[in-house]
Amino acid sequence: MTEHDILSYDVIIVGAGGAGLRAAIEAADKGARVGVICKSLLGKAHTVMAEGGMAAALANVDDRDSWRVHFADTMRGGQYLNNWRMAELHAREAPDRARELEAWGAIFDRTEDGRILQRNFGGHRYPRLAHVGDRTGLEMIRTLQDHLVHLAIDVHMECTVLELLKDGDRIAGAVAYERERGRFKVFKAPAVVLATGGIGRAFSITSNSWEYTGDGHSLAYEVGAALQDMEFVQFHPTGMVWPPSVRGILVTEGVRGDGGVLRNKDGKRFMFDDIPENYRSQTADSEEEAWRYIQGDKSARRPPELLTRDHVARCIMREVRAGRGSPHGGVFLDIAWVKEKIPNSKEYIRKKLPSMYHQFKQLANIDITETAMEVGPTTHYVMGGIRVDGDTQMSTVPGLFAAGECAAGLHGANRLGGNSLSDLLVFGRRAGEYAAAYARDNAAVNVDAAQVDLATTNALRPLDGAGDRGPAAEGPYQIQHELQEFMQELVGIVRCEDEMKSALERIAALKKKAPGVTVPGNREYNPGWHTALDLRNLLTVSEAVARAALERKESRGGHFREDYPDKDSGFAKFNIVLRKGGDGAMQVSRESIPPLPAELAQIIEEMK
Amino acid sequence: MTHATFRIWRGDSSGGALVDYETDVTEGMVVLDAVHQIQAEKANDLAVRWNCKAGKCGSCSAEVNGMPKLMCMLRIDELDMSRPVTIEPMRAFPPLRDLVTDVSWNFRVKKRIKKFTPRPPDAPDGSWRMQQSDVDRVQEFRKCIECFLCQDVCHVLRDHHKHDEFIGPRFLVHVAALEMHPLDVADRVDELKEAHGIGYCNITLCCTKVCPENITITDNAIIPLKERVVDRHYDPLTKLVRLFRGKRDKGRAEIPAEDPVLHGSSRSANPSEESR
């Protein structure tokens, strides 16, 4: 190990999206020496792609809103599998996190009286999303980034964590490699915050970037942390479907929040056909009422297009399967129709949805102020993740924390749009605070040379014998592609037992094959090598999704079983938890959800 | 489906060469798709930086047929496919490997710019009041995705390598966003003139032309900043006062900025159009 310099910190943050940056800022504010490790350049993380906004009950647009309504909306959207403590903290603290961003230089769109403007979004009773057009994520990440660079925080860019290190039961640091030269870096720290985002790259149709390979989930799992709710993957109802090369790119829910409607090939607004019982009292009866809601009429109820994402995605699938879809296997999302209602509709659309306008114009040759978009479901978000304590965000491994998408709990079975950006800030801050406190209150850790050697030896394996691979043999890209295809097909939006079992068999086969993959080239900025190293993480999270989905024999939220199409109250009482067993095999268990405290139960009852 | 040739620069800091790759192209493909296809099928170790593939992160900047572009937003059917499509790394930054360049300088520059400093909150809950009309201008600047294509085409950086003296269009936009932020009370005008080297810019508009976010960099950000510098440092009355105080102002020797708006009559051609 002597050839590796050891970098020592109080807190290491893995990931530099919204959660990682907010955690780093908080830990540094609390006096910790902080190192951030991120796979890409600063400011490029997946948060940058978030479009619609950040949910926070500021009550700037509708003064009936409060943290209590936001809490109830989040629990209802999550089908009550949420960690209720996280849902409570999130709803209570999100407004302060939004105001804090403004204090750091963010400029949200404004109300007429000069406050932060809020927009409508699926599953939120009142207009609640603070936003900047449809580029809210960019505003958030840039604000955090620009704030962070003036603090004493080291940022290790284009650096990928290979393994976490342990000292006894505690976390002790991480082994990473930097892409530019391909050299290893060893980090020592008593506290590590994972903020690595999601797993979308395990599927073929996804809105997620290459970074979303489930690294945090897999790293935590390997050192003994528990994962939960992995069966709940969110398929966003509106991704682009045409042309083929852009399939999966996100079309923001903001389109529907600002008046966009979904129609089938017969021109019918099919979302009125199936309104779930628990949302009936909040949903408009007619197109006329729906439009009044978009116009800000407080007596009107939400359009059915703004039902939760799981439900809208399934309705789209139903239309497509029934042969009522659009030419390229989606449905129509129409915002151009507002020209019937307002005089300056083109200006309205371009102001409200500038990047959507640009995206369709550039990539599909479609002017969305004139023509309807073709859209269909795309893998977008994983509700499941590392099991954490609601207050501190510490995982089941002492010293290991998780925040943002890679942590589980807040969203239960389905996440509401807009609750992700607020999640990042609320729990990023908490993870940073408690990680700093943990580092302060606990003794120093030691790095075990044997663990480092094992990690680096494994990492170099794909480069051994490079060039030996004949043209017919599979490279890392082929294995990744195969996994993505069958995960989409067999463990995607509609699931059944036989298909998931067959997916598990194929995952097992790839797990045997993956360690033997070789790549050409050397260690310097070699994407083939990186892809080979990502395979383990992708396979781990894929297996976790399939095993958890097999165990949950009901349909709820983002998880839909063709063989068990109904909700089963028996399954409402527990989360499905996955751990690495002593024999190395993945173990599935059910952990009951603690009962709601009376105060929170009463809020839910009142808001029904 | 058609067959196309992509001529991609392969190499590192010690040098490199263009290598031809043939691949199939299908309807709607963008240049980054072709690069990925080549990477998966023919050159596993072909280095390219990318993230979102949706024009939002600004990672996949390169020079395609000599034009600075985001590869994820450039459709192949916009290009002349009868000839090989040339893809090269940005030239204003040192090459690392293949299409990846060392852009770390940009991150160091940003640290040197005085941070956002708001006035005290307007309301007891710690919030402020700002009208939409007062933030429209700053919101334009904040659309920047930091792709650094504007830095790439700026001749002060690209041809004259003034990286130590000039922060480049991206960071002039950043300073403009701070200076014109309705809440900000810090003053960056002196730094603009000295440390940030705004006088080097002779408004050739190259940066504005290549901005994928269509930010009007020159007209809306740089020229107003130049005017602020002029007002403070070159206004005759102010100058007279300074003279009396004995504080001589030292302008830049290379490119005098006395008349920054009119300076630069020799509007240089977009450097990317030069032959290599």
CATH number at residue B54: 3.10.20.30
Q: Are B152 and B184 members of one domain?
A: yes
Query: B12 and chain A: CB distance < 8 Å anywhere?
Result: yes
Q: What is the number of other CB atoms lying within 10 angstroms of the CB of residue A224?
A: 15
Q: Are A98 and A22 members of one domain?
A: yes
- Which residues of chain A lie closer than 8 angstroms to B33, CB-CB? 245
Q: Are A393 and A308 members of one domain?
A: no
Kindly state whether residue A226 falls inside one of the protein's structural domains.
yes
pLDDT of residue B234: 87
Q: Are A154 and A60 members of one domain?
A: yes
Q: Are A118 and A181 members of one domain?
A: yes
Write out A1-37 in H/E/C secondary structure.
CCCCCEEECCEEEECCCHHHHHHHHHHHHCCCCEEEE
Rounded Cα distance between A575 and B198, Å, is 58
pLDDT of residue B236: 84
Mean pLDDT of chain A: 95
Q: Are A222 and A253 members of one domain?
A: no
Measure A323 CA to nearest chain B CA, in Å.
24
Mean pLDDT of chain B: 89
Kindly state whether residue A272 falls inside one of the protein's structural domains.
yes
Measure B3 CA to nearest chain A CA, in Å.
16
pLDDT of residue B261: 35
Query: B108 and chain A: CB distance < 8 Å anywhere?
Result: no
Rounded Cα distance between A43 and A45, Å, is 6
Q: Are B114 and B188 members of one domain?
A: yes
Averaged pLDDT for residues A461-483: 77
pLDDT of residue A342: 93
pLDDT of residue A3: 57
Of A110, A210, A524, the CB nearest to B51: A210
Averaged pLDDT for residues A29-54: 96
> What does the DSSP assignment read for A83-113?
-HHHHHHHHHHHHHHHHHHHHTT----B-TT
Point out the catalytic residue in the list A68, A76, A236, A552.
A236
CB contact under 8 Å between A142 and B142, yes or no, is yes
Helices (H) and strands (E) in chain A, counts: 16, 20
B55: left (phi over 0), alpha (psi -120 to 50) or beta: left
CB contact under 8 Å between B40 and A475, yes or no, is yes
- Quick one: pLDDT band at residue B179, thresholds 50, 70, 90? very high
- Which residues of chain B lie closer than 8 angstroms to A149, CB-CB? 107, 110-111
Q: ipTM > 0.85?
A: yes
pLDDT of residue A473: 63
pLDDT of residue A465: 67
B 176-235: CB under 8 A from A? 178, 181, 183-184
Does the structure show a pLDDT above 50 at A44? yes
pLDDT digits (tens, 9 = 90+) for B202-212: 999 999 999 99
Averaged pLDDT for residues B247-251: 45
The mean-pLDDT minimum among A601-605, B195-199, B236-240 falls in: B236-240
CB contact under 8 Å between B115 and A180, yes or no, is no
Does the structure show a pLDDT above 70 at B23? yes
Q: Are A27 and A172 members of one domain?
A: yes
Assess whether A256 carries a catalytic annotation: yes
Task: Please report how the helices A136-148 and A419-441 are oriented relative to each other, as an axis angle in degrees rounded to 10.
Answer: 20
- Which residues of chain A lie closer than 8 angstroms to B130, CB-CB? 107, 110, 114
Total tally of structural domains belonging to chain A: 2
| A407: DSSP letter | B
Domain end, chosen from B101, B129, B150, is at B101
Does the structure show a pLDDT above 70 at A299? yes
pLDDT of residue B250: 44
CB contact under 8 Å between A359 and B54, yes or no, is yes
Q: Are A392 and A354 members of one domain?
A: no
pLDDT of residue A18: 98
Does the structure show a pLDDT above 60 at B58? yes
Rounded Cα distance between B48 and B96, Å, is 10
pLDDT digits (tens, 9 = 90+) for B62-105: 999 999 999 999 999 999 999 999 999 999 999 999 999 999 99
Q: Are B66 and B127 members of one domain?
A: no
Kindly state whether residue A515 falls inside one of the protein's structural domains.
no
Candidates A525, A526, A533: best to mutate against B (most CBs of B within 10 A) is: A525
- Tell me the residue type at A486: F
Q: Are A161 and A246 members of one domain?
A: no
CB of A262 closer than 8 Å to CB of A335: no
Domain end, chosen from B59, B86, B101, is at B101
- Quick one: pLDDT band at residue A595, thresholds 50, 70, 90? very high
pLDDT digits (tens, 9 = 90+) for A389-439: 999 999 999 999 999 999 999 999 999 999 999 999 999 999 999 999 999
Of A138, A364, A528, the CB nearest to B44: A528
What residues make up the domain containing A288? 238-378
- Quick one: pLDDT band at residue B252, thresholds 50, 70, 90? very low
Rounded Cα distance between A407 and A427, Å, is 9
pLDDT of residue B259: 35
Q: Are A147 and A277 members of one domain?
A: no
Kindly state whether residue A589 falls inside one of the protein's structural domains.
no
Q: Which residues, in sequence order, are CB contacts of A281 under 8 Å at separation 6+? A: A301
Sign of the four-CA dihedral A456, A457, A459, A462: positive
Q: Are A174 and A284 members of one domain?
A: no
Total tally of structural domains belonging to chain B: 2
pLDDT digits (tens, 9 = 90+) for A98-155: 999 999 999 999 999 999 999 999 999 999 999 999 899 999 999 999 999 999 999 9
CB contact under 8 Å between A209 and B28, yes or no, is no
Query: B126 and chain A: CB distance < 8 Å anywhere?
Result: yes
Averaged pLDDT for residues A294-318: 94
CA angle B89, B92, B95 (to 5 degrees): 45
**Tokens 């480092």 belong to which residue?**
A452
Percentage of chain B exceeding pLDDT 90 = 81
Measure B276 CA to nearest chain A CA, in Å.
25
Q: Are B163 and B44 members of one domain?
A: no
pLDDT of residue B268: 35
What residues make up the domain containing B55? 2-101
pLDDT digits (tens, 9 = 90+) for A158-184: 999 999 999 999 999 999 999 999 999
Assess whether A556 carries a catalytic annotation: no
Element (H, E) at B172: helix B168-179
CB contact under 8 Å between A44 and B132, yes or no, is no
Question: pLDDT higher for A474 or A137?
Answer: A137
- Which residues of chain A lie closer than 8 angstroms to B28, CB-CB? 242-246, 363-364
- Which residues of chain A lie closer than 8 angstroms to B111, CB-CB? 149-150
pLDDT of residue A598: 97
Percentage of chain A exceeding pLDDT 90 = 94
- Which residues of chain A lie closer than 8 angstroms to B48, CB-CB? 527
Rounded Cα distance between A268 and B154, Å, is 52
**Tokens 């799992």 belong to which residue?**
A221
pLDDT digits (tens, 9 = 90+) for A69-92: 999 999 999 999 999 999 999 999
Q: Are A76 and A206 members of one domain?
A: yes
